[in-house]
Structure 1
């Protein structure tokens, strides 16, 4: 089991759930908040030999209902969220001996994982976005700043991050020189990795995606 930790975030503070030892991995929440599914991902990474940290981007708030989660996501201060992620990267490097780190994110967090990989290209060696594409007009991402490998996991049936949007983002990254591969899982829906949601969980896709993510982190960190 992990613990709640407080870290600095550009003049502010942010809490997060941290567990494990070894190379660092940043875990970025879905739109629900820092909920048990996300802390379980942290624990799973810790069991695989990593120091994993999930920052609480909603600063204490969460929701179990789509309407509430949507409101929280819409109210998210993206500029502060990016600062929180950068502070989390710093803490992970401090805890893991200063080496390169990986980042994995889900839904909203999948998009933010790509943002973090670009904003902290100095530190991020691997990025694993799950069913998230960047769709915020206020965030301009310089894909050429991404120095690590990007291996994404997406669903064939997804109203938020559909195959067409995924392929467009992949092409833009590749054009910018990024080592990128986006995998689209046939028969899977958005949030297929979330085993707390039996309506969308897809065991085969989740298992395949997780194995590939672990391989990515073991090869690069």
Structure 2
């Protein structure tokens, strides 16, 4: 992804520890040089908190946001689908939920305003919708990269932008279109962007599915959407 031209190259980053009901959990935080800004929670895909998602935080901070990415895989990083699928069984839903919710609480303390944006990828997108559903007054916008959910859309107050490739073989485009239809029926301000030739994980440079052109366009749209 190309860095936005109106960004702050002096953004800072740090590793912190979240205290959660499931025990301590690490998180990566990136802040603008000025130290403050609107908050964005970054929720990683099933690989774990790898450099792709840290880079998302850095680029968000460079664009003026306080970005926080919790690690709900305890420092482990999968590099293949088989590794990620096997690792998924080692982490329960309640444990992940506790970490995601604690990260949201921490970001609310650190950012400007009473609500934050969320950018989630695949599994992380599903957790983004969970927060938007269960904490509607504290989530302003959700940007979902190739993520499907069966949330109660009528409970969501956040604006929604979701990015999908038309060659996605994990979550087919028709599922994204059906979700968009349900969002619209529920009265949610939602937009579906489709990328020709792109597959699942197209926005992650470490993946063989990475599509640089689609990723750059999606990131530009993401920043514009988060800025409102």
Q: TM-score, normalised by structure 2?
A: 0.88
Equivalent residue number for residue 219 of structure 2: 210
Equivalent residue number for residue 155 of structure 1: 165
CA distance in 1: counterparts of 2:153 and 2:24, whole angstroms: 28
Equivalent residue number for residue 19 of structure 2: 8
> Quick check: 2:22–2:99 contact (8 Å CA) kept in 1?
no
Q: Note if 1:41 corresponds to 2:48.
A: no
Q: Which runs of 5+ in 2 are unaligned?
A: 1-11
- What are the within-5 Å matches in structure 2 for residues 46-61 of structure 1? 46-61=61-76
Deviates more, 1:187-196 or 1:110-119: 110-119
CA distance in 2: counterparts of 1:86 and 1:194, whole angstroms: 24
CA distance in 1: counterparts of 2:24 and 2:181, whole angstroms: 36
Report the 3-state secondary structure (helix = DSSP H, G, I; strand = E; otherwise coil) of the residue aligned with 2:147. coil
State the 1:94 CA deviation. Answer: 0.5
Equivalent residue number for residue 134 of structure 2: 119
Equivalent residue number for residue 137 of structure 1: none
**168, 180, 193: which is aligned to 1:170?**
180
Equivalent residue number for residue 184 of structure 1: 194
Report the 3-state secondary structure (helix = DSSP H, G, I; strand = E; otherwise coil) of the residue aligned with 2:166. strand
**122, 134, 141: which is aligned to 2:151?**
141
> Quick check: 2:133–2:153 contact (8 Å CA) kept in 1?
yes
> Quick check: 2:39–2:67 contact (8 Å CA) kept in 1?
yes
State the 1:43 CA deviation. Answer: 0.7
Q: CA RMSD in A?
A: 1.6
Dislocated runs of 4+, deviation >6 Å: none
> Quick check: 2:22–2:95 contact (8 Å CA) kept in 1?
no
Equivalent residue number for residue 210 of structure 2: 201
State the 1:13 CA deviation. Answer: 3.1
Change (3 A) 1:30 1:11: closer
Q: Summarize deviations over 1:124-157 as a string: whole Å, max 9, x none.
A: 00000001112xxxxx622222111000001101
